[in-house]
Copies of this chain bind each other. A is one copy, B any other.
Amino acid sequence: MSESLHQLKTRLARISRLRQAAALLGWDQQTYMPPGAAAARAEQSATLSQLIHEMFVGEETGRLLEKAVAETQGVDPDSDDARLLAVLRRDYDRATRLPTELVTEIARHTALAQEVWQRARANSDFAAFAPALEKMLNLIRQEAEYLGYEQHPYNALLEGYEPGARQAEVAAMFAEMKPHLVALTQAIAASKNPIDDRLLYGHFPIERQRELTLHVVQSLGYDLQRGRQDEAAHPFCSDFSRDDVRITTRFSPEYLAQALYASLHEAGHAMYEQGSPPEYEATPLAGAASLGVHESQSRLWENLVGRSRPFCAYLFPQLQQTFPDQFGKADVEAYYRAINKVEPSLIRVEADEVTYNLHILLRFELECDLLTGQLTVSDLPEAWNARMKAYLGVTPPDDAHGVLQDIHWAIGLVGYFPTYTIGNLLSAQLWHAARQALPDLDAQIARGEFAPLLGWLRQNVHRYGRKYLPGELAVKATGEPLTSRYYVDYLTAKFRDLYSL
């Protein structure tokens, strides 16, 4: 190995270990930290973040990168080392383009705007949040200018979450899907065979839910030797190396589906991280190709697997045993129907498979228009509500259930939302490819044999870590670039059947 590359890897490993330590601070903050520790934790996190940033953008990183690139001329451009240097080049250039003052200003305003947003949401008072959002958008526009872009400032931001993705492509994808989604939603609303999901509501002791969800995610292939499940207000997955990938869930004693599908979702994220190659550990190649690819894994296990008939056939006897009063006399088809009920609703995180992407489309359109100034902050609530009505047929009773519902903009995450839809599309595209490779997949799932599917994902997605761009990875895994076709086909077939359309 080139001596500079070796030194570079040593430096990056240190930075990586510090990032893992910083991630533990975050995990702890959302799980076990006592409330009085908030101020101290903010200092700890800020200190570690600043140090990590200083080490990463330091001249020594750039110097070693240049030397390592020079010393590895002629190396196979598809080798791990060549790809590592390419990934690092992308990360380093992006990190060094932003002036420290702007990074500091965004960090400071993020803390402030988050507080303002929380109060504004609690009071459903958008006007109280508007100035903070206005300022955040100004900072984000500056960020986009420093980062540089072609065609649309959105591209500069999107690149940070979904490398290689472009605003115009995302817009085209949505344009393609939108008529299908809207038509399907309307057809379902008019269906003569509506779904009754009262079966999912009742009394589900939390201790039993805890055992059940843990058993289920373990049976999928989530390795509890290298992971664990805790509780948090907002379920998430957090990793501190491929050998320590933790999930959280949230239990509702009256509604089983909340914890169960949150656990499936987060376990999907976690199995991706656990599948990152050991040899990539603590290098820029470790982890996930993008947020979209990450979401493809969580959604695949949550929806393509978790809301399928074969999975219900596997799961339902366990549900009957665990909650006999609730499910003892029910049948599996009733359960399958209940967990697939479609109902246009106000809140994105509670949306079903059919309407979910309409929530994302709305945010994507608004973000693009806000960035370019075609939409002003003061007109935002009206624009939100108009689109909710047009796409989903519902109108928020207040801004807390509308434009104020998500934290993303308050903490500067503009350009992030489309990764949810990219994840959904890719999940169906991967599913299609996996089914062709595993003709017996349905029967395997019905028997609780998830190893073949996980093995296919390990082989075609997980083992590449960050080596390939999401676009490259889609082609490698499925033979074609990302398309909305498989997702639309999947939804159409599934819900025509469910709603007798």
| B240 and A34 within 8 A (CB) | no
- The segment out of A14-22, A115-123, A165-173 that lies at the interface is A14-22
Query: Do A44 and B32 have beta carbons less than 8 Å apart?
Result: no
Q: Quick check: is A244 within 8 A (CB to CB) of the other chain?
A: yes
Q: Is A35 an interface residue (CB 8 A)?
A: yes
Q: Using Cβ atoms and an 8 Å threshold, which residues of chain B touch A21? A: 21-22, 24-25, 44, 47-48
For A243, give its contact among B37, B225, B230 (CB under 8 Å): B37
With a cutoff of 8 Å between Cβ atoms, the chain B residues found around residue A35 in the complex are: 225
- Give the size of the chain A interface in residues (CB under 8 angstroms): 41
Please tell me if A425 contacts chain B, counting CB pairs below 8 Å: no
* Complexed CA–CA distance, A46 and B21 (Å): 11
| A63 contacts chain B at the CB level, 8 A cutoff | no
Instruction: Report which of B24, B227, B246 forms a contact with A25, defined as CB distance below 8 A.
Output: B24
Contacting residues, chain B, for A228 (C-beta < 8 A): 32, 34
Least CB distance, A42 to chain B, in whole angstroms: 10
CB distance from A391 to the nearest CB of B (A): 41
A244 and B36 in contact, given A14-B47, A28-B28, A51-B51 (Cβ under 8 angstroms): yes
> Is A33 located at the chain interface by the 8 A CB criterion?
yes
- List B contacts of A281 (CB < 8 A): 40
Specify which of A24, A25, A35, A281 lies most central, judged by the most chain B CB atoms within 10 Å of its CB.
Answer: A24
Q: How far is the CB of A146 from chain B (nearest CB, A)?
A: 24
Most B C-beta atoms less than 10 A away, residue of A21, A50, A228, A242: A21
Q: Which residues of B are found within 8 Å of A40, using beta-carbon distances?
A: 20, 240-244, 281
* List of B residues within 8 angstroms of A246 by Cβ: 34
User: Known: A34-B226, A225-B36. Is A43-B28 also a contact (CB below 8 A)?
Assistant: no
Q: In the complex where A33-B244, A226-B37, A244-B33 touch, is A44 in contact with B28 (Cβ < 8 A)?
A: no
Q: Which chain B residue shows the least CB distance to A227?
A: B34
Cβ contacts under 8 Å, A32 to chain B: 32, 228, 230
Question: Which residues from 268 to 295 on chain A have a C-beta closer than 8 Å to any C-beta of chain B?
Answer: 281-282
Residues of chain B within 8 A (CB-CB) of A449 are none
- A23-65: which have CB < 8 Å to B? 24-25, 28, 32-37, 39-41, 43-44, 46-48, 50-51
Query: Closest CB-CB distance, A379 to chain B, in whole Å?
Result: 36
Chain A, 235-262, CB within 8 A of any chain B CB? 240-244, 246
Residues in A142-162 with C-beta less than 8 Å from chain B: none
* A223 sits at the interface (CB 8 A): yes
Q: Does any Cβ of B come within 8 Å of A224's Cβ? A: yes
Distance, CA A389 to CA B32, complexed state (A): 44
- Residue of B with least CB distance to A18: B47
A39 proximity list for chain B (CB < 8 A)? 243
Residues of B within 8 A of A34 (CB): 224-228, 243-244, 246
Q: How far is the CA of A34 from the CA of B225 in the complex (A)?
A: 6
CA distance A281 to B40 in the complex (A): 9
Residue of chain B at shortest CB distance from A42: B17
Q: Which residues of chain B come closer than 8 Å to A226, judged between CB atoms?
A: 34, 36-37
Q: How many Å lie between the Cα of A90 and that of B69 in the bound state? A: 46
Distance (whole angstroms) from the CB of A46 to the closest CB of chain B: 8
Complex CA distance for A35 and B244, rounded to whole angstroms? 9
Chain B proximity of A11: nearest CB distance (Å): 11
Out of B24, B36, B43, B241, which one reaches A24, CB within 8 Å? B24
Q: Which residues of B contact A47 (CB under 8 A)?
A: 13-14, 17-18, 21
In the assembled complex, the CB of A224 is this many whole angstroms from the nearest CB of chain B, namely 7
Known: A24-B25, A35-B225. 13 other contacts (CB 8 A): A17-B48, A18-B47, A18-B51, A21-B24, A21-B44, A24-B24, A32-B230, A34-B226, A36-B225, A36-B226, A37-B241, A44-B241, A51-B51
**3 cross-chain pairs, A with B, having the tightest CB-CB distances, nearest first:** A40-B241, A37-B244, A17-B47
> What are 23 A-B contacts defined by CB distance under 8 Å?
A14-B51, A17-B46, A17-B48, A18-B47, A20-B40, A21-B25, A21-B48, A24-B25, A24-B28, A28-B28, A32-B32, A33-B244, A34-B224, A34-B226, A34-B243, A34-B244, A37-B244, A40-B241, A40-B242, A41-B240, A44-B240, A44-B241, A51-B51
